[in-house]
């Protein structure tokens, strides 16, 4: 969860700008990147929904990782 403390600046009697600390900006940036990653993952899963799957044991054997 984001812990933000925005400062709202008024110009000409209207809310004009929002100011965040740099740490808050980084939190927002990371949250947006995570959201984008999640959307791409969901799209990829939908696109490959009908593709055949391979079990972990088969992959381990194929790559010589059993042992």
pTM of this structure: 0.66
- Map out the domains of the chain as residue ranges: 7-62
What span, in angstroms and rounded, lies between the C-alpha atoms of 67 and 60?
A: 9
Q: Which has the closest alpha carbon to 28: 18, 14, 39?
A: 18
pLDDT above 90: residue 67: no
The stretch 21-27 carries a mean pLDDT of 97
Confidence of residue 66 (pLDDT cuts 50, 70, 90): confident
Confidence of residue 1 (pLDDT cuts 50, 70, 90): confident
């Amino acid at each position: 969860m984001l812990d933000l403390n925005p400062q709202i600046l008024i110009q000409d009697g209207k809310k004009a700008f929002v100011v965040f600390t740099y740490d808050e900006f980084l939190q927002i940036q990371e949250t947006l990147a995570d959201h984008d990653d999640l959307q791409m993952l969901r799209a990829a899963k939908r696109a490959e929904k009908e593709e055949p799957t391979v079990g972990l044991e088969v992959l381990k054997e194929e790559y010589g990782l059993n042992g």
